[in-house]
Amino acid sequence: VRLVVKLGPELLVRYANLMGIERHLQPVYSLALGSADVTLLEMTNAFNTLANNGIRTRPLMVLRVEDEHGLILEQNRTELQPVLSPATAYVVTNMLQSVVNEGTATAIRARGYSGPAAGKTGTTDDYTDAWFIGYTPSICCGVWVGFDEKRTIFRGATGGGIAAPAWAEFMKQVRPDTLSAFPLPPEFQDSLVTLPICEQTGRLATARCPRVRYEVFIKGTEPQQECPLHGR
Residue 221's nearest CA partner among 201, 194, 198, 199 is 194
205/195 Cα distance (integer angstroms): 8
Cβ-contact 7, 31 below 8 angstroms: no
Banded pLDDT at 232 (limits 50, 70, 90): low
Chain centre distance of CA 22: 17
Lowest-pLDDT choice from 12-16, 74-78, 184-188 = 184-188
Q: What percent of the chain has pLDDT over 70?
A: 99
pLDDT, tens only, 82-95: 999 999 999 999 99
- pTM (2 decimals)? 0.90
Tally helices (H) and strands (E) across the chain. 6, 9
Residue 175 has pLDDT above 90, yes or no: no
pLDDT, tens only, 8-53: 999 999 999 999 999 999 999 999 998 898 999 999 999 999 999 9
What's 161's DSSP letter? I
pLDDT, tens only, 106-118: 999 999 999 999 9
**Crossing angle between the packed helical segments 40-51 and 9-19, to the nearest 10 degrees:** 90
